[in-house]
A and B are shown apart, each in its own frame.
Chain A
Amino acid sequence: MINENPTLGRRGLQLDVATVVVDVFVGALKVFLLFFAVWSAVAVIVLQAQGIGLAGESWPGIITGGLVQGAMYGLIALGYSMVYGILGFINFAHGEVFMAGIMTGVFVSAFLVESGMWLNAFPLALLILLMSCVLTSALVAMIIERVAYRRLRGAPRLIPLITSIGVSFFIQYAVLGLFGGQFRRFPDLPPALRQRYRVLGLDIGGAQLLVICVAIVAMVVLWWFVTRSRSGRAIRAVAEDKEIAALMGIDVDRTIVMTFVVGGAMAGVAGTMWALIFRSVIPFTGFLPGIKAFTAAVLGGIGNLPGAMLGGMTLGMVEAVGPTMLTSLRWPIPDLVAYLLGAVSIVAVLWGIRTIRTATVAGATRSITLIVLGTLMAILSFTVLPGYNVIIPGASQLKDMIAFLVLIGVLMIRPVGLLGERLSVEERG
């Protein structure tokens, strides 16, 4: 490493050891995640081609399941994304907003069954169900904003976040105390929704089809609202810069309430979807979907509405396909592939050695990462990897784990999300 090149300085590389180790480790983690992602994806395809993968007819089910789940995440994610875009904190209680809608839906649907409307005039009953979910969720979101968050404008960053955790707890356990912890079930769907339909070559259940349609309509309405309506413009202005928006005569408080209401309404639509697909609810129903929807929002780029939908869809698909991908890791890595990987690693090491001599300090860390990881990878490729496979029993239990791993991977590899963040000036820092 002793070199006359001035970019290296006289005393060799002045690198902070801890920082370099951290960088190498983060690099290793990225490579590790990418490696398994690529391996499992290839394995799925290969196994399918060899005819020993999943039975062909189960794929449409997985894909539509992923679509539906993804649309649901996307709709909830919109609420997170909008609030984060404007106020800059994770509204943990948003999952509970979603749950409150479903919980109301249960009672409303029970009433609808009693009155006979569920059987005789299902479309009308569905509309009433949808409206009640949407209204409850929007109302709950509005109340939360009014009671808890409004007084915290301008407080240090962590305070509203912690408050929202408290709100989330409060709602969960208040609902538990009021309505009990047992599963509350939705009534059976009419036969038309229990049938399966062929759409675009996919075999889709009626309820799923309906739900996808509802989600699309909701998104179109939201898109129209945000881009075309007066309130939507106000929301975008406030999201951009609260002070300037206020100077332009926009009522910031009202706009923030509007944001919560719209976010809550979208969660309500998602709640209706949940009601039709999963057809039962407990007080804790909202928690995990809430966290995952936030993941989806981050995945797509927080503050970015199309991003939230895309993130939701991606996450839904990953979750649906994930377990299959995990089990496909039973496919042994062919020797040739391993050797090829080894060769690539050696090239990476050589490249690292070549660049480290001319690198500026920032580049040097990358070169070191290349050398260290490349060496490691090369050794593995020629010893362990040929014919290596992992057998993971009970892969479907690990569905949530995959979701979180995707989150971690995305935040490490592309911290601004797939479509990029849109934050207000206050939050950009």
Chain B
Amino acid sequence: MTLGPQPDNAMLPHRVVMSARHMPGYAYGVRSPIWWGTVGFAVAEGMGFAIAAAMYLYLVFVNGNWPLSAPPPDLLWSGLFSVVLIASIWPNQLAKRDGEREDLAKTRRNLVIMSLFGVALLVIRVFEFGTLHVRWDQNAYGSVVWLLLGLHTLHLLTDLGDTIVLTVLMFTRHGHGKRFSDVGDNAFYWYFVVASWLPIYTILYWLPRWW
């Protein structure tokens, strides 16, 4: 068998067997590549949450007594945060649905509501940080509490930023077509922010009380 250069650089001739002319220009959910990218980032970041939570449980296990020389964090602001966060599922679902219907007016309204939810949650979160009863540099318990809450806040912030940019975008002349698919993906990411909070909330606020 002789393998080697083909200096004539001849390309294979084409034989057309199908046409893409009538295929749609974009679609929603699993049909859209961006949706898969969002899932990919949610998985990687979810893994980050899982590892931070595992650190927390590991430290509980090696220390035995928990929390270390501090009372458990308060339930008021964290409870309010959780309630508001869960309530945000409803407008988020609307945002996704109206986006898929390509209804511009409703999408604008929903995105404004979601941005306001994000801002409100961020304000509550600031108060939540104030009622932890422990600083990050007090002991390993304080460090890991701030790590988990900080990590979740980072996600809250990035999704809020994303939502605000998208909201502004939908009020400009760019608000049509494929952008409606982006609205759906933004809503999907918000679900991730909500879903990741519930185990973190349980670990941070209830595990120290049950331990």
A is bound by B: no
